[in-house]
A and B are shown apart, each in its own frame.
Chain A
Amino acid sequence: MKTKILFSVVGTLLLSATAHAFPEMVRHGYAACVTCHVSPDGGGVLTWYGREISGAALSTWGGREKSYWGPEQKEHHETFFAWDLITPPEWLLLGGDVRLNRIQYRTQDGGSASRLILMQADLEAAAKFKKLTIDATIGRDENAREIFSRRHFLKYQLNNRTTVRFGKFFHAYGIRMPEHAVSTKRGLGWDQGSESYNIEGALVDSNYDVFLTALLSRPETKGQNGMVFGEDESGFSARASTFLAEKYKIGASFFTGSTKSTDKTILGPFAMLGFTPHFTVLSEFDFTNLKLKSVTKDPGWGLVSFNKADYELIQGLHAFATYETYRPAFSDSTSGVNTLGAGLQWFPRPHFELQTVWKNDKPVGATEGSHYFFLMAHFYP
């Protein structure tokens, strides 16, 4: 029981602390992340277009409803950075993320407790000089309690479709999504704060995309007490996908690399399916071969998966259900977790997101799982 509670609390604490790509937007034909984000793989600071779409298609209220073109294009608008209180020049994009999480969990004596936690407080700027873009975040690392930059990179636009990028960011693998604590992110060792230094080549067409990334190194992720959460990692990653009828994105990813303790080979398909303007299914399956360097025996292959069905009840308000599997090795029939989840996500106005989630982690072979619940508020200026 103690273990379950601890797992629930830690799981909840680390849930949803990073953000910013919403792959469900595939239902509106936005199969390529770069339409709305500076990063070719999505996430992070929004383009001007992304800001407008956040008002027009993501939020319940706050989108433009009346005429807005012509000279009045420069008029004040709610979707602009900080409600247009600060007007950056056209070459400069500003953004950021502040996340608060209220956690409800069981205490060891059977009671309940709750905590309010600042999960993330980042500012981000992207400056574009002709074909070169410089992007960087600055914020507070809530684990280490220090100022740090989660992501920073140089991006060079070779042509309309092709970019090369160097810096610290998540390599492209599978579905880029905010839920970083799920099995296809945390379960693969790519949790919050595990961005690596990479060189990336990306080809993003209106019908397909291809990402090739060399992972050069990854700074160790440390907590306040110096405990290392994530090890240095290097390797190579490839991801390719095709867009079918604009609202269906199907692809596959491959990764090979190693940390100090583990050799990893991971590969598998993923799909982002916008069946209707309101109904989206996300699905990713990754076959894993995770070999501990200290152990000579190869554990063989395992499987992690993430599946999410999302229905937009009214614009901006979503009900969703998730199902995850984590089986590090098929050869070990006692190791693994299946997780069922459900929740509501609401974008009331541009800049705001609220999310409430229930999850149940059930270890393989167990008759009972552990439950946890959280309420998350996200502000993106």
Chain B
Amino acid sequence: MKFPSSAVFLFVAAGASSLMLAATASAAGKWVIPVDEGTGSTEFVAVGNPTAIRIRGTAERPKGKLTIDGASVSGTITVPVASFDSGLALRNQHMKQKYMEVDKYPDVAFSLTSLGSLDKVTESKDFSSEVPFDGKLKIHGVEKGVQGKAKVARKGDSVSVAAAMKINIRDFNIEVPTFAGVTVTNDVDIKVEFTAPMRAQ
């Protein structure tokens, strides 16, 4: 059976167009970032007064799932308060039990509501930039809007995010930690990093 050359051309052209359309739809379409499946770290830094001590703490890596759907992004990542570690058992107990009230509020949750350059993140498999983000941070049962900048890097099918923000603990109804004459200042720096797969849906 012999096909006319024009039919072959039309078939190839249609196929190619379909593939291109599919690829475009995928790039701009729905993507999932399962943060659970990746690696990462959580860090916080607070300063004590009047004694010039900087307290650098760590916590478990963030867990959760982020979804990119066209121009919008959603999803929540959480970090368990029980995993907070300031380097001293006494201080950990003080922080978690008295101030963070871990039994009542076991997780810190961050819901992402917008992220800059989303189109580039989804379209390019080799992208790296610092982009603004907005979200809602829930600590100690209080949810507040937060903004910051995140370094986002996509390499092939994985994405790395490093976000930093400064919060005022009083905004979250956390009593200012005071112990034996040392008071922690209201501002606490938080840094969250993760690398996770990025999958088209």
Contacts and interface: CB of A to CB of B under 8 A. Distances in A.
Interface of A: 28-32, 34-36, 47-49, 51-53, 55-57, 63-65, 67-70, 157, 160-161, 204-207, 209, 243, 245-246, 277
11 contacts: A28-B88, A29-B55, A30-B53, A31-B53, A34-B51, A35-B48, A53-B88, A57-B88, A69-B98, A70-B98, A207-B54
A29 B87 contact: yes
Contacts, number: 75
Contacts of B52: 32, 34-35, 161, 204-206, 209
Given A34-B52, A160-B50, 12 more contacts: A29-B53, A30-B53, A32-B52, A32-B53, A34-B51, A55-B90, A63-B90, A160-B49, A205-B52, A206-B47, A207-B54, A245-B56
Contacts of A28: 87-88
7 smallest beta-carbon distances between A and B, as pairs: A56-B90, A48-B180, A35-B51, A49-B180, A32-B52, A160-B50, A206-B54
Contacts of B179: 49, 52, 69
B91 interface: yes
B120 interface: no
Contacts of A209: 52
Contacts of A68: 94
A375 B7 CA distance: 99
A68 B98 CA distance: 10
Contacts of B182: 35, 49
Interface of B: 47-56, 87-91, 93-94, 97-98, 179-182
Nearest to B57: A29
Contacts of B47: 206
A51 B90 CA distance: 13
Q: Binding site of B, secondary structure by majority: helix, strand, loop or mixed?
A: mixed
Given A35-B48, A47-B181, A49-B180, A277 B53 contact: no
A61 to B, nearest CB: 13
A206 B185 CA distance: 12
Contacts of B98: 69-70
A268 B31 CA distance: 57
Contacts of B56: 29, 245-246
Contacts of A161: 50, 52
Contacts of A34: 51-52
Most buried by A among B52, B56, B180: B52
A63 B179 CA distance: 15
B184 to A, nearest CB: 11
A176 to B, nearest CB: 15
B168 to A, nearest CB: 18
Contacts of B53: 29-32, 35, 206
A81 to B, nearest CB: 13
A55 B89 CA distance: 11
Given A32-B51, A206-B54, A246-B54, A52 B89 contact: no
A35 B48 CA distance: 9
A260 B98 CA distance: 58
Contacts of B88: 28, 53, 56-57
Contacts of B50: 157, 160-161
Contact of B90 (A47, A64, A157, A207): A64
Contacts of B48: 35, 206
Contacts of A243: 54
